[in-house]
Structure 1
Amino acid sequence: MLLSALWCWFSVGIVHGQSNLKNINQSLRYSRYSRISPKIIPIKTGEREFLLQMPVEKIEENINFEDYTFSYVVVEDFNEEINEKNIVPLTASDIKKDTDRHFYFEKSITIPLDQKEAYAVIICKDTRQGDQYVYHADLISPFIGDIPSFGAYYDNDIPFDQTFINKGEALLFKSDKSMNLYNYFYPQDFEIPLPPMETRPAPVAKDIQVIDNGEFLVNVPQPFGDEGYYFVQSDTTEQTGFMVKTTNAAYPRVSTYDEMIDKLVYISTRNEHEALRAAEDKKKALDKYWLELTHDTEKAQNIIREYFRQIEFANILFTDFKEGWKTDRGMVYTVMGPPASVFFDADKEIWIYDKIGSKSKISFTFARIKNIFTPNYYKLNRSRSYQPEWFQSITLWRSGKMAF
């Protein structure tokens, strides 16, 4: 009876205001204080059939399943209404695995033959305070190729729900079909993105080096030994596969003084940054840099902690074949902080911030671009109009006043 009451309350909350994927605020996806992190990882099992793998990461300690309601829905486009007619609840009996780090659900679905697009959505609601966590994934859309018929898993058989692992670690690849997988390694590094007000074209990347690491079998752990990114395919004639970024052991955190200096590029002047990179004693140079900015040891310590916490979250949230802080979204997130509102459409993602010291708002639009390595590749629509707010945020960082 209690579960039914909770579900009714949850459903009413979802459908209020005619909810659809286009108008649901997904800002909790990028919050520094989220308690859970749901994902959908689809596996193609037939021509129009998919297995929806839905791991929900437990960020909150000592999490109770009863404190949340879980559901999923498959919609034809971002405008289709999400309501009690198409939402499917996920109850305790639907849990496939309950581990220290995840609740894990699975559901098999079939898309009608005449349906041109399909998107799967998981919706999790914290019944204690009403927070709503939403995550969606393309099943059939113009922005992805075919969905792989194999998946990557942790050693406890939970689907791999990140985009990066530390080099030397292994993943288990599984499929219900017998197949060989092909493993390609890209030892690529990338330049930092241009700032939001820089409208000139970004430098064109050099030729990408690719190393063919040969074949391996499914259902056997596969190690990834070098730092860069890997692309795994079952059919090399198709533009479909699995990409994972490999990183140093400390990632997503910053662990060395050289890394700290590299990542200060967003809030330092060119002369400051060049002087830091050239310094023989990096620690001494960094200490001097922060103290000259803030003129206060405690304030300097606080702002160092905040800034590199932002870098860590950017790496967690936005890593693809680039480190998260080097992506357009990671850059904006680092400097501006978590957005107040986040809205998606099939071809873009929009972040809205309350303007600093103003009642008006500023928005950043990230255009979605089809990319064979990741279904979530976004480029910022740059504009000179961003310059005042961008420099204002940098000034707050440099004065020790930016905090989240």
Structure 2
Amino acid sequence: MIRQKISSKFNPISGLILILIAFPFLANAQQTLEQLNQSLRYSRYSRIAPKVIPVKEGERSFVLQMPVEKIEENIEFGVYNFSYGILSSFQEPITAQNMVNLTEADLVRETNFHFYFEKTVTIPEDQEMAFALLRATDTRQGDEYYYHADLISPFVFGYPDFWAYYGDQIPFDQNFMVKNDALEFKGAGPVSLHKFHYPATFDVPLPPMEIRPAAVPREVTVNYQGDFLLNTPKKFEDDGYYFIQSDTNSTKGMMLRTVNDAFPKVQDYDEMVEMVAYISTRKEHEALNEAEDKKIALDQYWIGLTKDEDQAKKLIREYFKQIEFANILFTDFKEGWKTDRGMVYTVMGPPNEVSFKMNGEIWSYLIANSNSKITFTFARVKNILTPNYYILNRSRSLQPEWFKSITLWRSGQMDF
């Protein structure tokens, strides 16, 4: 893009007028955590993925581990401006005074896959809540990436005094790991950690317009699998999810889910059958489940939707790309595509606007050929396993746009 040259001559009077005009705008331009549009966090075209992982160091002090995944290849440090800050609420303005710039000298480590920063913060005794915010600004087109994490809030049961690390000593920045892969755990507390295994499987969530409550298991199986030493590689061999603790009398711990080696992509035809539930009729899905040869049945299913083999191939690629992203973005103790956010993401695509409140998350989609939006609201629910557990506020009013999106999928016209 060719930029118009700016004259180096400066007129003091015109400059003063410019400042007077711009000042109110600048004052009003201050945003809060609640006002930020964080849609880039869920974009299929994001170039980086920042994260904040708090590790408890003292009663009110935390080590903020801030890995930034390099999705775009060969990124040089200077392409992004990084800063972090501690906010006392979702309504506190984000300003130059409460955001601290991170320079290349602040890098703890850089690998082919991550930039990694680490800072220790202490929250004042009289501060009731605290939220860490990491911001990365792409200097090429001004895109701003954000990630925030509660340090002290009603939704946090407490952070562990240990964490897991990849072989290159970058903090483990996701909730899932491939079975039999190894992680190394480090911490300043006891020399060993306790491992609890939950061999749970989960059903596909109900659609957004289904307001009856979903079935809840009456019992949750948990197996204590003993303790293991810090600073030694540890593998997790069973299906399900794990909760790791240094103190079994506390609520603090680290949750991770084991997945197959194809994850976040689809593993086999049986899994593919389960995943098409969102865009299938009940009769179609029952027929796929009952088919002896799932591959043949699925081929017939996809071609039957589009009546065109090339369109069917495109539809398959797009649909399972959505599943892949849902797994990457939303996996907790459930696979990402089985969470409420993963379901909406798969069918509706990446949201145009994403905003957070302390007690929820709001996604908005622009409706084609209209000035209207459709909004999905996810309520944040207290959960001992993760401070980021969200369930959809279901409503019959979501039905028209939901069915419209499913129709686009089934006709092969959904495209992101």
Q: TM-score, with normalisation over the residues of structure 2?
A: 0.93
User: Which among 247, 264, 286 is matched to residue 276 of structure 2?
Assistant: 264
TM-superposed deviation, 1:291: 1.0
Describe how 1:119-198 pairs up with structure 2 within 5 A.
119-198=131-210
Q: Does 1:311 align with 2:323?
A: yes
Distance, in Å, in 2 between the alignment partners of 1:16 and 1:298 is: 51
Correspondence for 1:350: 362
Distance, in Å, in 1 between the alignment partners of 2:408 and 2:181 is: 39
Distance, in Å, in 2 between the alignment partners of 1:291 and 1:251 is: 25
TM-superposed deviation, 1:16: 6.5
Distance, in Å, in 2 between the alignment partners of 1:323 and 1:43 is: 25
Distance, in Å, in 1 between the alignment partners of 2:51 and 2:197 is: 26
Correspondence for 2:122: 110
Q: Does 1:69 align with 2:69?
A: no
Distance, in Å, in 2 between the alignment partners of 1:268 and 1:176 is: 51
Instruction: Report if the CA contact (8 A) 1:15-1:82 is conserved.
Output: no
Distance, in Å, in 2 between the alignment partners of 1:34 and 1:146 is: 31
User: Which among 353, 372, 379 is matched to residue 391 of structure 2?
Assistant: 379
TM-superposed deviation, 1:178: 3.5
Letter in 2 for 1:353: Y
User: Which among 55, 64, 76 is matched to residue 52 of structure 1?
Assistant: 64
Correspondence for 2:371: 359
Correspondence for 1:334: 346
Correspondence for 2:9: none
Residue 246 to residue 121, structure 1, CA distance change in 2 (3 Å): same
Distance, in Å, in 1 between the alignment partners of 2:395 and 2:190 is: 50
Which secondary structure does the structure 2 equivalent of 1:148 belong to? coil
Instruction: Report if the CA contact (8 A) 2:260-2:267 is conserved.
Output: no
Instruction: Report if the CA contact (8 A) 1:15-1:84 is conserved.
Output: no
TM-superposed deviation, 1:290: 1.0
Distance, in Å, in 1 between the alignment partners of 2:62 and 2:303 is: 55
Please list the CA deviations of residues 246-268 of structure 1 after superposition, one character each: whole Å capped at 9, or x if unmatched: 01110100021111111000000
Distance, in Å, in 2 between the alignment partners of 1:16 and 1:249 is: 49
Correspondence for 2:22: none
Instruction: Report if the CA contact (8 A) 2:130-2:152 is conserved.
Output: yes
Q: Does 1:211 align with 2:223?
A: yes
Letter in 2 for 1:265: A
Percent identity of the aligned residues?
A: 61
Which secondary structure does the structure 1 equivalent of 2:322 belong to? helix
TM-superposed deviation, 1:245: 0.4
Distance, in Å, in 1 between the alignment partners of 2:27 and 2:238 is: 47
Instruction: Report if the CA contact (8 A) 1:44-1:148 is conserved.
Output: yes
Distance, in Å, in 2 between the alignment partners of 1:358 and 1:399 is: 22
Correspondence for 1:9: none
Structure 1, 303-312 or 171-180: larger mean CA deviation? 171-180
Distance, in Å, in 2 between the alignment partners of 1:336 and 1:89 is: 36
| CA RMSD, Structure 1 to Structure 2 (Å) | 1.2
Correspondence for 2:33: 21
Q: Provide the aligned length of Structure 1 versus Structure 2.
A: 392
Distance, in Å, in 2 between the alignment partners of 1:19 and 1:217 is: 45
Instruction: Report if the CA contact (8 A) 1:119-1:139 is conserved.
Output: yes
Instruction: Report if the CA contact (8 A) 1:73-1:86 is conserved.
Output: yes
Correspondence for 2:251: 239
Distance, in Å, in 2 between the alignment partners of 1:299 and 1:152 is: 43
Correspondence for 2:10: none
Instruction: Report if the CA contact (8 A) 2:182-2:234 is conserved.
Output: yes
Instruction: Report if the CA contact (8 A) 2:190-2:246 is conserved.
Output: no
Between structure 1 and structure 2, the one with the greater Rg is 2
Please list the CA deviations of residues 67-117 of structure 1 after superposition, one character each: whole Å capped at 9, or x if unmatched: 100000100010011111111000000000000110000001110001110
Correspondence for 2:400: 388
Distance, in Å, in 2 between the alignment partners of 1:280 and 1:63 is: 48
User: Which among 98, 104, 110 is matched to residue 92 of structure 1?
Assistant: 104
Distance, in Å, in 1 between the alignment partners of 2:79 and 2:139 is: 6
Correspondence for 2:94: 82
TM-superposed deviation, 1:278: 1.1
Which secondary structure does the structure 2 equivalent of 1:259 belong to? helix
Distance, in Å, in 2 between the alignment partners of 1:403 and 1:257 is: 23
Distance, in Å, in 2 between the alignment partners of 1:160 and 1:312 is: 19
Distance, in Å, in 2 between the alignment partners of 1:89 and 1:379 is: 35
Residue 279 to residue 388, structure 1, CA distance change in 2 (3 Å): same
Please list the CA deviations of residues 366-392 of structure 1 after superposition, one character each: whole Å capped at 9, or x if unmatched: 000010101110000000000000000
Residue 379 to residue 198, structure 1, CA distance change in 2 (3 Å): same
Distance, in Å, in 2 between the alignment partners of 1:85 and 1:248 is: 46
Correspondence for 1:42: 54
Instruction: List runs of 5+ in structure 2 lacking aligned partners.
Output: 1-24
TM-superposed deviation, 1:222: 1.4
Correspondence for 1:6: none
Instruction: List runs of 5+ in structure 1 lacking aligned partners.
Output: 1-11
Residue 15 to residue 202, structure 1, CA distance change in 2 (3 Å): farther
Distance, in Å, in 1 between the alignment partners of 2:216 and 2:59 is: 38
Letter in 2 for 1:157: Q
Letter in 2 for 1:368: R
Letter in 1 for 2:198: Y
Letter in 2 for 1:253: K
TM-superposed deviation, 1:173: 0.8
Distance, in Å, in 2 between the alignment partners of 1:136 and 1:58 is: 18
User: Which among 42, 48, 71 is matched to residue 30 of structure 1?
Assistant: 42
